[in-house]
Structure 1
Amino acid sequence: MGDNWYSGNAAEDGKETRGWLLGHFRPEEDVRHSTDAEVKWGIHEPGEARTEWASDADRTTMLLLVQGRFRLDLAETSITLENQGDYAVWGPGHEHKWEALTDAVVITFRWPTS
């Protein structure tokens, strides 16, 4: 790691943090430390799911599909991301859950950080 730069592999670097690469949980001296945003690399097998409703009362989230098919359920609707680059954004207060419909890779952006 350089003084103010970092290069790595998302799958490897996220092993200890459930896929989270950038955020408040990194040491303050780490260039990946941020109190403004969080970034997660998610690799999911078919059928893997978050079955309980989760809520980000004070944060906005963006979910970006890299490959595969991935369903996002919000209390009001269900969205299937199926083409590379499909994404969904939801604001504070929306409960969500999800399921990987095929092998899927997604990137999650969340702001502000906790």
Structure 2
Amino acid sequence: MTDTWYASNANDDAGQHRGWLLGHFIAPETPGSAVRNTGDLEIKWGIHPAGQQRPEWTADDQRTTLVLLVSGRFRLDLTVGSTTLQKQGDYVVWGPGIDHSWQAEEDSVVVTVRWPSIALVKTP
């Protein structure tokens, strides 16, 4: 591969960075890192078995997020409301300052896009 393009499979690459395929955290030693490391956005291929959840809420996230359902049934709880993605192609978008948690109600595959790609500061 060259530094200007990269081809692979999301299922194969997802395990390297908890499902994230693009973003500021793609390390230089990662295949295709020259075009996959970016501060502009993050893209995740999320494979979630039924019952898997993120029970804790994000805290003061200042990015915009889109979650797109590929298959399954996937519930998102936002500080401003809740929605369940249940039909292929269903999606939800929320802006900075809205926190979330989620649960896969069935085996689910979702694509998540966040922008910009910024390192979050974790408080002790």
What TM-score does the superposition give when structure 2 sets the normalisation length? 0.87
The structure in which a higher percent of residues are strand is 1
Q: Which runs of 4+ in 1 moved over 2 A?
A: none
Partner Cα distance (1:56, 1:6) in 2? 33
Residue 3 of structure 1: aligned partner: 3
Matched residue SS, 1:30? helix
Matched residue SS, 1:16? helix
Percent identical residues: 56
Matched residue SS, 2:56? strand
Any conservation in 1 of the 2:17–2:26 contact (CA below 8 Å)? no
Partner Cα distance (2:49, 2:59) in 1? 23
Q: CA deviation at 1:58?
A: 1.5
Partner Cα distance (1:56, 1:87) in 2? 22
Partner Cα distance (1:73, 1:97) in 2? 5
The yes-or-no answer on 1:39 pairing with 2:79 is no
Residue 49 of structure 1: aligned partner: 53
Partner Cα distance (1:56, 1:80) in 2? 22
Residue from 92, 98, 109 that aligns with 1:105: 109
Structure 1 residues 20-29 or 2-11, which shifts more? 20-29
Partner Cα distance (1:55, 1:12) in 2? 30
What TM-score does the superposition give when structure 1 sets the normalisation length? 0.94
Residue 121 of structure 2: aligned partner: none
Q: CA deviation at 1:56?
A: 4.9
Which blocks of at least 5 consecutive residues in structure 1 are unaligned?
none
Superposition map of 1:1-114 within 5 A? 1-27=1-27, 30-114=34-118
Structure 1 residues 94 and 84, CA, compared in 2 at 3 Å: closer, same or farther?
A: same
Structure 1 residues 56-65 or 102-111, which shifts more? 56-65
For this pair of structures, how many residues does the alignment match?
Answer: 114
Partner Cα distance (1:47, 1:3) in 2? 39
Q: CA deviation at 1:3?
A: 2.8
